[in-house]
Each structure stands twice: as structure tokens, then as C-alpha cells.
């Protein structure tokens, strides 16, 4: 018995000692002009096994026996680019992809037990054609099952895909920690190979980009993976060189073949002091295969606010829709604020003073001047985010410019103030409420006009905006052919340049066009307009299901009663025969809808209804 116990103790001690071992590479990963041989070593009488396709080494992986010459023989042969990771109508598979060299290695006992951490290094050899033309590289390594398995893979339609709803279902649309996968991420600067090499968590990111072949991604540094933060000055920020969360956003999510709108907008927004993330273009490799042009961003969440504003993450509220959708904290203060604005006349000076105690009015004006200047088509009904710490004033964040810098004749002020009945595009009254209400105040209108003129004079002139435009065009131009071949977006270099010319033309004429539109709007707006959605009398709200509606007027025909969800889609409808109903009569119905925020519409009358079950 003593001999058995002693043998077990020896084995345990051996494994504990072995866990202190690490496979050592003779040269770290990064950019190199010419090929060379890599030597792997570790202490003790252990075997080194390695992979070249991004997967975690196991007892069946290739045994290291001699130095590895960095050449095409070490390219991954898994061809993961051929795996279908999108609905049928979005599938794009190139005839080939370029490669870098990825080596992942670990130490094993002769009986196959892994006794060391996995060490990963990515090599980008210029003489082998691995040229990123001056852009930094993000290299991601992950076990294929974590990305592509039908049941658990986060990159595929998989078990959660519904063919009847292809735009919003699939494994890649799943959220939360259950759909986070451990990966190894490397980042290399092109000039000195500085960066990071560590394990972290990976999730999908975005809306449309989740189902496209070029996936939006976000990465999380966590202690459970080994390091609490990504420690590198990714964005040349003198005040910040450590990040908890980062977003890797594909070029192809832009609303044109250009894809540079978001980068330009973020750079301009930061110049005027509107809160937004920093950004830079990178080339992504996934398990050694070329995965295209992306933009590395700071993730806009509570950790971003903690880093930049020293906020208390446990006392911070972040709201990501006008309905009060919570990203962090809770929405109690936000909904109270929105309710107050709904009820008050902001032409009253006392009410305006109180409004300025609820929101940071200077921030709000800067945010709205900027969003209207860039002509953001995907706003304000979408891509709104605001935050507060404790009970402080609400402040707004700019975070998505993919649908900007395109249409000079787009009526940005009508888009920001006029509520039209929802059709195929998300549109709801809360998205127009604050700006429309504030515009009724003479002091606010004067401040908005003055700040818009100041921004146009100091920041938005073509001399400044064209410098940002030229910067990103120069950074990307040599990489577009590779991106186009990999994903078919942009469809060609000509298409990319055409998209860029539209942006350039927009920026060249924008100041004059914008100031003329602003004058036209402020000089002709009807500040006494009563919004139709304020006239419908429906209650209770919140409701557990049953809704009462007061018929405000009698008509000679039937009216359709509709309820729209937050995306603008009809969730419920019925026809009401108003010929037999008198004014101020009450009708009751139960739409049998799940909990959420809805817009109730009857004729030209509308009202928000909250269902809580």
C-alpha cells in the first residue's frame, strides 16, 4: 500500500514539475523578410508535439524531431475557408487563400499526457508573399469545433439556424458566456513586432456581419485565460495602453463597397470630443489562413468608460436604444427621463433648465450636430447609445458610422425629428422625442446653430476631413485586391475606388450643403407641431397583456389597429369597426405578445406600449 501511495505521489510531483515547463521557440512570432528554421525546446525528458492548422496540439499531433524550416510545407491544409459559414444567399468561397505560418506546440509525456501550456507563434514571411503592406496583423487560432461544429461552433448557421428567418438566426447570433470560445490571439506591429500573444475569449459581434463570411468578432481578456488585459498601445494613445475588450470589425460591413466610412467618422468624432472608440485597420489571419481587412476597435462598454472616464463600472448605466434597452446597469433613470420629456413643453424656460439637469446639453448638441453632419442613415432609430454614472447627467456615444458620408441630399433633420408610420425600416417616436422637444426652446436652437457653425469652421472643412479620408485610402489601397479575392467585397478595385469617390465628393461639398440645410430647417420648422403619437389614449402601460384604447374620434369606416416591435415590424394587427363606436368609447384587446416595447398605431394616432409578463 505504501509503495502504491509513494508511486502516486511521485507521479503527481512529476506532473506538477512538468506543468512548470514551457515549450520555447528560438524566435518569437511576427514579421520577417526571409525564411529561417525554428527550434523548439523544453526541459525534462518530454516530447514536443505541434500543429500547423491552428488547433490545440494533442497526443496524436506531429512529433517535433528537428528544426522546422518556415516555408510552404508548414501552411495549414485544413482549408477552413471552404466551410459554409453563412446562409445560402451570402456564401462566397474563393478559389484559394494565402497563408501565414502558425505553429502551436506543447510538451507531452511518452504516454501522451500534456504537461505544459500550449505556446503559439505566427510567422509572416515577406519572401513567401505574406505582405500586409504596412498594416498590423491579428492572428487568431482556435479549435475548429469551437468555430465550425454544427452544435457548438460560433461561426456557422448550425443548430440554431431557421431557414424561415435567415437574417436573425444561427449559432453566430447567440449571445452570452455560453457562446464564448477560448482562442489564442496575436497582434504584431509591422515595424517592430511588438504586440500581444495570449489566450482570450472570442464571441461574434455586430448584426449583419454575424451571418456574413467576414465575421464581426470581439475578444475578451480574462484572468481565467491567463491575462486580465490586452497590454499594448494599439491606438497610439499616450494615456492608455491596456484594454479589457476589443472589437474586430470587417471592412465589408460598410454600406457601400468602400467600407471606410466608419473609420473616418470615428476619427472625426474624436476630434470634436464626442465619445467614441479609436480604430485602426489590420489584416486578420484565422488558423493561418488569410481572413481579410478588418478594423480593430475599442469595445464601447463599461470597461471603455472606466478606462477613459475613470467611472465605477458597478455604478454605471449604459443604454443602447431609445426604448431603454440595457447594456450595463439598469434603465430606471433613463425611462424616467424619457417619460419626463414626453410630458413637458421645453419652450418653457423652467422646463428647459430641468432638461439641462438631466442631460449634458453640450454633449447632446455635439452628438446631434455630428450625426446629422455625417448623414447617418442608420440613426437615430438605431445605433443610439448613452450613459451615466450614478445619477449624473446622461451623455451620448457615437459608435457606428457604416451608413454615413453617402447621400448629400438626405434630409438629416427630417430624419431626426419626423416620425412616419413604420414600413420596412425601423422607425419609432422615442427616437425623435428629445431632439424635437429641445428644438422648441429658443436657447437650444441658438446653441445648436452656433455650435454647428463652429464645428464646420474648425473641424468639418474639407482640408481636415480629406486628410482623414486620404490617410485611410493610402493605408488600405494595396490590400484591397486581396480582400476582394477573399470575400468578394468590394467586388473589385474599381468598385472600391468608386465608393471612395462618393465619400470624397460628400466631404468636399458637405459644409455648404449642411449649413444650408440647417438654416432651411431652423427657419421653417413648426415648433408648435403636436406629435401624433402623443394623442392616442391607451392604457395601462406597462401591461401584462390586456390593452385599453380610447377612440378619440369617430370615422365612417374601419380602422386597422397595429402594433410594431422595436425593429419596425408589425407584431399584431386587427380591424376595428369604428362606424358603431362613439367618440371616447373604450375598446379592449389582448395582442398575446411577449414582453417588450411596442408602438401602438390606429389611424394617424400612435403611442408606446410596454408589455411585461
Contacts 24+ apart (CB under 8 A), 302-310: 302/328, 302/329, 303/243, 303/244, 303/245, 304/245, 304/277, 305/387, 305/389, 307/240, 307/242, 307/243, 307/244, 308/240, 308/275, 309/389
pLDDT at site 8: 37
Strands 119-125 and 101-108: antiparallel
Asked if 254 contacts 260 with a C-beta cutoff of 8 angstroms, the reply is: yes
pLDDT at site 533: 38
pLDDT at site 133: 97
Cα-based distances in Å from 581 to 188, 557, 577, 587: 71, 11, 7, 9
* Model confidence band, residue 20 (pLDDT cutoffs 50, 70, 90): low
Sheet holding 605-611, edge to edge: 570-577, 558-564, 596-602, 605-611
Region 354-376: mean pLDDT is 98
For residue 16, pLDDT beyond 90: no
* Model confidence band, residue 568 (pLDDT cutoffs 50, 70, 90): low
Query: Per-residue pLDDT tens for 111-136?
Result: 999 999 999 999 999 999 999 999 99
Strands 119-125 and 30-32: parallel
Q: Tell me the pLDDT of the chain averaged across its residues.
A: 90
Q: 606 forms bridges with which residues in the sheet?
A: 601
* Model confidence band, residue 557 (pLDDT cutoffs 50, 70, 90): low
pLDDT at site 562: 84
pLDDT at site 278: 95
Measured CA to CA, the distance from residue 102 to residue 100 in angstroms comes to 7
pLDDT at site 540: 81
Q: 574 forms bridges with which residues in the sheet?
A: 561
Q: What 8-state DSSP symbol labels residue 195?
A: E
pLDDT at site 427: 67
Single out the residue of 56, 74, 79, 83 nearest to residue 171, CA to CA. Answer: 83
The three three-digit cell numbers of residue 306, written as one number: 472606466
For residue 531, pLDDT beyond 60: no
Query: Per-residue pLDDT tens for 574-612?
Result: 887 766 666 667 788 899 888 777 778 776 676 777 786
Asked if 24 contacts 120 with a C-beta cutoff of 8 angstroms, the reply is: no
pLDDT at site 167: 83
Measured CA to CA, the distance from residue 38 to residue 103 in angstroms comes to 10
* Model confidence band, residue 99 (pLDDT cutoffs 50, 70, 90): very high
Sheet holding 547-550, edge to edge: 537-539, 547-550, 586-589
R_g of the chain, CA atoms, integer Å: 28
Three-class SS state of 475: helix
For residue 267, pLDDT beyond 50: yes
Q: Between these two residues, 346 and 207, which has the higher pLDDT value? A: 346
Region 254-271: mean pLDDT is 93
The three three-digit cell numbers of residue 245, written as one number: 475588450
Q: Between these two residues, 44 and 353, which has the higher pLDDT value? A: 353
Query: Per-residue pLDDT tens for 163-203?
Result: 998 888 999 999 999 999 999 999 999 999 999 999 999 99
* Model confidence band, residue 14 (pLDDT cutoffs 50, 70, 90): very low
Asked if 52 contacts 63 with a C-beta cutoff of 8 angstroms, the reply is: no
- Among 27-41, 207-221, 236-250, 522-536, which is the least confidently predicted range? 522-536
* Model confidence band, residue 18 (pLDDT cutoffs 50, 70, 90): very low
Amino acid at each position: 500500500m505504501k509503495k502504491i501511495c509513494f508511486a502516486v505521489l511521485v507521479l503527481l510531483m512529476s506532473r506538477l514539475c512538468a506543468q512548470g515547463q514551457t515549450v520555447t521557440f528560438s524566435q518569437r512570432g511576427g514579421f520577417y523578410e526571409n525564411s529561417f528554421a525554428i527550434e523548439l525546446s523544453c526541459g525534462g525528458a518530454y516530447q514536443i508535439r505541434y500543429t500547423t492548422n491552428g488547433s490545440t496540439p494533442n497526443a496524436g499531433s506531429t512529433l517535433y524531431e528537428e528544426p522546422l524550416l518556415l516555408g510552404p510545407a508548414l501552411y495549414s491544409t485544413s482549408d477552413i475557408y471552404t466551410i459554409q459559414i453563412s446562409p445560402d444567399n451570402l456564401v462566397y468561397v474563393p478559389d484559394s487563400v494565402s497563408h501565414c505560418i502558425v505553429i502551436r506546440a506543447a510538451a507531452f509525456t511518452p504516454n501522451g499526457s500534456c504537461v505544459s501550456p500550449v505556446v503559439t507563434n505566427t510567422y509572416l514571411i515577406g519572401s513567401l508573399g505574406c505582405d500586409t503592406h504596412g498594416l498590423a496583423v491579428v492572428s487568431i487560432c482556435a479549435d475548429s469545433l469551437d468555430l465550425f461544429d454544427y452544435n457548438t461552433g460560433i461561426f456557422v448557421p448550425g443548430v440554431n439556424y431557421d431557414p424561415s428567418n435567415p437574417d436573425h438566426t444561427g449559432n453566430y447570433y447567440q449571445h452570452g458566456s455560453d457562446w464564448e470560445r477560448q482562442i489564442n490571439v496575436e497582434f504584431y506591429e509591422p515595424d517592430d513586432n511588438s504586440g500581444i500573444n495570449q489566450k482570450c475569449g472570442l464571441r461574434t459581434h455586430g448584426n449583419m456581419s454575424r451571418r456574413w463570411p467576414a465575421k464581426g468578432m470581439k475578444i475578451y481578456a480574462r484572468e481565467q485565460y491567463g491575462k486580465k488585459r490586452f497590454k499594448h498601445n494599439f491606438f497610439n494613445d499616450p494615456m492608455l495602453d491596456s484594454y479589457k475588450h476589443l472589437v474586430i470589425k470587417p471592412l465589408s460591413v460598410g454600406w457601400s463597397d468602400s467600407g471606410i466610412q466608419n473609420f473616418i467618422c470615428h476619427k472625426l468624432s474624436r476630434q470634436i470630443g464626442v465619445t467614441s472608440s479609436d480604430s485602426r485597420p489590420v489584416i486578420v489571419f484565422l488558423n493561418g489562413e488569410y481572413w481579410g481587412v478588418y478594423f480593430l476597435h475599442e469595445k464601447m462598454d463599461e470597461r471603455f468608460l472606466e478606462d477613459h472616464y475613470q467611472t465605477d463600472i458597478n455604478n454605471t448605466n449604459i443604454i443602447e436604444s431609445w426604448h431603454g434597452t440595457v447594456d450595463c446597469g439598469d434603465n430606471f433613470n433613463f425611462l424616467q427621463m424619457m417619460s419626463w420629456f414626453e410630458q413637458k413643453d421645453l419652450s418653457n424656460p423652467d422646463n428647459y433648465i430641468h432638461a439641462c439637469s438631466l442631460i449634458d446639453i453640450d454633449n447632446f448638441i455635439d452628438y446631434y450636430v455630428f450625426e446629422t453632419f455625417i448623414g447617418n442613415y442608420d440613426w437615430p432609430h438605431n445605433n443610439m447609445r448613452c450613459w451615466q454614472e450614478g445619477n449624473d447627467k446622461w451623455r451620448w456615444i457615437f459608435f457606428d458610422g457604416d451608413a454615413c458620408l453617402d447621400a448629400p441630399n438626405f434630409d438629416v433633420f427630417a430624419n431626426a425629428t419626423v416620425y412616419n408610420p413604420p414600413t420596412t425600416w425601423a422607425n419609432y417616436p422615442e427616437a425623435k422625442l428629445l431632439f424635437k422637444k429641445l428644438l422648441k426652446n429658443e436657447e437650444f436652437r441658438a446653441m445648436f446653430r452656433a455650435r454647428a457653425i463652429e464645428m464646420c469652421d474648425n473641424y468639418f472643412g474639407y482640408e481636415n476631413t480629406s486628410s482623414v479620408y486620404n490617410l485611410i485610402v493610402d493605408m488600405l489601397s494595396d490590400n484591397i485586391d486581396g480582400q476582394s479575392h477573399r470575400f468578394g467585397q468590394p467586388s473589385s478595385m474599381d468598385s472600391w475606388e468608386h465608393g471612395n469617390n462618393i465619400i470624397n465628393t460628400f466631404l468636399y461639398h458637405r459644409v455648404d450643403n449642411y449649413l444650408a440645410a440647417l438654416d432651411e430647417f431652423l427657419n421653417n420648422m413648426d415648433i408648435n407641431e403636436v406629435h401624433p403619437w402623443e394623442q392616442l389614449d391607451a392604457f395601462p402601460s406597462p401591461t401584462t397583456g390586456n390593452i385599453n384604447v380610447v377612440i378619440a374620434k369617430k370615422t365612417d369606416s374601419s380602422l386597422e389597429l397595429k402594433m410594431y416591435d422595436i425593429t419596425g415590424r408589425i407584431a399584431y394587427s386587427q380591424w376595428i369597426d369604428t362606424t358603431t363606436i362613439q367618440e371616447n368609447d373604450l375598446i379592449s384587446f389582448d395582442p398575446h405578445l411577449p414582453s417588450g416595447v411596442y408602438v401602438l398605431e390606429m389611424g394617424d394616432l400612435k403611442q408606446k406600449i410596454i408589455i411585461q409578463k
